[in-house]
Chains A and B, each alone.
Chain A
Amino acid sequence: MASVLTIRDLQVAVDEVPILRGVNLTIRQGEIHALMGPNGSGKSTLAYALVGHPRYEITGGSIEIDGTNINELDPCERARLGLFLAFQYPVTIPGVKVADFLRHAVTNIRNPNRKEGEGLIPMKDFRKELRSRMEELGMDTEFARRYLNEGFSGGEKKRMEILQLAMLQPKFAILDETDSGLDSDAVRVVSEGLQKLSGPQMGSLIITHHERLLEYNVPQFTHVMLAGKIVETGDAQLAHELHNHGYAQVRERHPNEAAEEELRLQKVPAAAE
């Protein structure tokens, strides 16, 4: 049976400033959802809140996986339940080799009850698997020996996120502007990479400004966020329109949220994005 990620009336505050004001969204394994919206509308806030960043406080509503409320779970527990975030700005972990990091991660995700210090998946199998995933994504296998994201270019970091996605095979993947800050070749590489990974076992929420990622990964649903709410939901055509025409028409159709957006920009010039 396909798993379901259900977000109900989710309200989230950062440093006591409300950012999300009641988000409703249901994602099933196998579905591709695009999430679009102007800067500051709360897209990244939703991403961080879903995976449990401690600064993002859930002040109302719920996040559920197959009916189980995960509001109170820490990021590690959520990851072991099958949630994955491809970071917009991946963090560098100095001195920790990609392979060592991933071997721990993969073991924990596949064996969610594992405690620290318990056995890891066999080195030989792991290496083989890592190597073949890297080859599929057109990555130099030398990266496995490098320190995680240390000295990586923007494109390399994003590709590393996709590699982790490939290794961890989550039920639900949230991709936070995985295509931003990349040249067109790199965008193509990540888009193709994601395309290869998509399938009936993975539901994805793709946060993007670009079309390319969505060309390779055609969404069944496109959601538009404005001032902390999802104001419209359509199909791939909606994403296309927004890309071509911007958000002016969306704001016209939703004057209340547009006014709220205006208000926020005055109050918090650099609203949490």
Chain B
Amino acid sequence: MTMTAVAPWTAAAFEEFLANRQEPVWLTERRRQAFATYQKLLKQPLDPEEFKRLDLRALRPEKYSLITTEQAATLSTLMADRAEFGGTVSHIDGRSVVSQLRPEYAALGVVFGSWETVLATRPEILQALERAVPADSDRFSAWHAAFCTGGTVLYVPRNVELSAPLYSLIGLSAENAADLSHTLVVLEEGASATLLEETCSDSATAAGLHVGAVELLLAPGSQLRYVQLQNWNDKVWHIAHQSGRVARDASLQWTVAGLGSRFAHIHQAIHLDGRGASAEVNGVTFATERQVISYYTQQDHHAPDTRSDLLYKDVLRDRARVVWRGMIKVDKDAQKTDGYQRNDALLMSADARSDLIPGLEIEADDVRCTHGATAGRVDEEQLFYCMCRGLSRSEAMHMIVEGFFQRIYDRIPVELVRETLSQAVQKKLGLGD
């Protein structure tokens, strides 16, 4: 089922991996460079600013490997069966299984499919790789770039506006499978699209590894709504670089939900490259049992009159842990920047722990940047008030938790996403079906 007896992620495994792929020379060359970088970076420590609060000792890369056989998976997803999507692309264990797009969208020049189909028809689109996530960012991005298993690609031509959302599913099925998938979105000038992406596991118990990347490239005046709902089982390691580049007058609305995984670390970056670019980032995190969910978020203002607005809400229960390190960076020329970041954690138990650290690095002198973070237990007076109205303590707690997330839901214009998040939270609270 796994590739061979060759130890995974070694030079021998890499050669074998390349031999099994029919890819253009330029891509193979990139992979070779990335692999060399990976080997070099493995010997160097990770950036302590990003990783010092995380314990990666239990991550054993050699335990996981790439799967070459097709899996018969019956994934129980949160969104897949729920709406009329303009197109669907699914990957399981790093292999493309579904790739569909409405013919009328295809006729407009929209491309939505797996790497394989895009390489066969419009390979130049993949030339945009690494514009937002350079392979040499750290050992994980290099590892990913070398062994990338493919992924979902969306390309929307100039001034094409897609009204129906597109759906991308990343699934894990086989025991100890590794998924190194890459989501690439390229919007040309004035284009507009919504992409809903979900990660999930076929079984509740199969261990897995995701070393992923997301690149969102917005040309001037384009608009993207992107959602990634991370809903692995609690045996999966999830490590990803996710980055958006927003050009002049373009706007990105990005929602991340961290519900699943045993350990998740996402390096999420927004680059506001052109005047008038704006980005809104919403984060919903619900960590339970012994889950560790971590984010390193960057809002980089490279141009004047740019706006970024990040709001994360985390709920923690049991012995779960959430780590967040946020940074707003404003370049010298990025005057009139409006930057905002806030992260609030709500602790449902005494053993849960959150570390939330906002940060600013500002080189321009005429900006408005605010940041904040709060962490606290569920308020006893709120519980008492609810109980005085006949709600049990647990029901009151759950209502307060859902209310806590509501402020994020209020920022999400896509009803399907609001509903999905709300149901996923309820499910995790032990409510509903």
| A contact set with B: CB distance below 8 Å | 51-54, 74-76, 78-80, 84-85, 87, 90-96, 100-102, 104-105, 108-109, 112, 115-117, 147, 164, 168
Beta-carbon contacts under 8 Å, B379-422 to A: 379-382, 384-396, 398-400, 402-407
**A54 & B384 in contact (Cβ 8 Å cutoff):** yes
Contacts of B18 in A (CB 8 A): none
Q: Is B7 among interface residues, defined by CB-CB distance under 8 A?
A: no
Chain A contacts for B379, CB-based, 8 A: 91
Residues of chain A within 8 A of B393, CB atoms compared:
74, 76
From B385, B398, B402, B431, give the contact of A95 (CB < 8 A). B402
Residue of A nearest to B433 (CB): A117
Q: Which residue of B lies closest to A84 (CB)?
A: B388
Tell me whether B395 and A116 are in contact (CB under 8 A).
yes
A74 and B218 CA atoms in complex are apart in Å by 55
> A74-B393, A91-B381, A94-B406 in contact; A79/B400 too (CB < 8 A)?
no
Interchain CB contact under 8 A, A147 and B406: yes
B390 touches A109 (CB 8 A): yes
B403 near A76 (CB under 8 angstroms)?
A: no
Q: Provided the pairs A53-B384, A54-B384 are in contact, do residues A96 and B389 lie with their beta carbons within 8 angstroms?
A: no
Question: Which of B389, B392, B395 has the most chain A CB atoms closer than 10 A to its own CB?
Answer: B389
Distance of A133 Cα from B393 Cα, bound (Å) = 27
* CB-based nearest A residue for B396: A76
CB distance from A28 to the nearest CB of B (A): 22
Question: Measured between alpha carbons, how far is A96 from B399 in the docked complex, in Å?
Answer: 7
Q: Across the interface, which residues of B come within 8 angstroms of A104, CB to CB?
A: 389-391, 395, 399
Report the minimal beta-carbon distance from A80 to chain B, rounded to whole angstroms.
Answer: 5
Q: Which residue of A lies closest to B394 (CB)?
A: A116
Q: How far is the CA of A89 from the CA of B400 in the complex (A)?
A: 18
Q: With a CB–CB cut-off of 8 A, which chain A residues contact B431?
A: 116-117
A147 / chain B contacts, CB cutoff of 8 Å: 403, 406
A85 to B380 Cα, complex, angstroms: 17
Give the residues in chain A near B390, CB-CB below 8 Å: 76, 79-80, 104-105, 108-109, 112, 168
Given contacts A76-B391, A93-B386, A93-B403, 12 further A-B contacts (CB under 8 A): A76-B393, A76-B396, A79-B388, A91-B379, A91-B382, A94-B404, A94-B407, A95-B404, A95-B407, A104-B399, A109-B389, A116-B395
The tally of residues in B whose CB lies under 8 Å from a CB in A reads 28
A87 touches B385 (CB 8 A): yes
Rounded to whole Å, the gap between the CB of A146 and the closest CB of chain B is 12
In the complex, the answer to whether B388 meets A75 with C-beta atoms within 8 Å is yes
- CB-CB under 8 A from A91, the residues of chain B are 379, 381-382, 384-385
Give chain B residues whose Cβ lies under 8 Å from the Cβ of A164.
389
Q: Give 16 CB contacts A-B under 8 Å.
A: A53-B384, A78-B388, A84-B388, A90-B385, A91-B382, A93-B386, A93-B400, A94-B404, A95-B406, A95-B407, A102-B389, A105-B389, A115-B392, A116-B392, A116-B395, A168-B390
Ranked 4 nearest A-B pairs via Cβ: A95-B406, A95-B403, A108-B390, A96-B403
A229 to B381, CA, bound (A): 26
Residues of B within 8 A of A76 (CB): 387-388, 390-393, 396
Contact yes or no, A85 B407, CB < 8 A: no
Give Cα A202 to B388, complex, Å.
17
Q: How far is the CA of A52 from the CA of B389 in the complex (A)?
A: 12
Is A116 within 8 A of B398, CB to CB? yes
Interchain CA distance A115-B405 in the complex, whole Å: 24
Residues of A near B387 (CB, < 8 A) are 52, 74-76, 79
Set of chain A residues within 8 Å of B385, measured between Cβ atoms = 87, 90-91, 93
CB interface residues, B 61-100, toward A, < 8 Å: none
Residues of A within 8 A of B395 (CB): 104, 108, 116
Q: How far is the CB of A18 from chain B (nearest CB, A)?
A: 22
The CA of A74 and the CA of B384, in the complex, are separated in Å by 9
Task: Report how far A117 CA is from B389 CA in the complex, Å.
Answer: 16
Residue of A at shortest CB range from B395?
A116
Q: How far is the CA of A53 from the CA of B384 in the complex (A)?
A: 7
Beta-carbon contact of B399 and A101 below 8 Å: yes
Cα distance, A53 to B398, chains bound together (Å): 20
B418 to chain A, nearest CB (A): 12
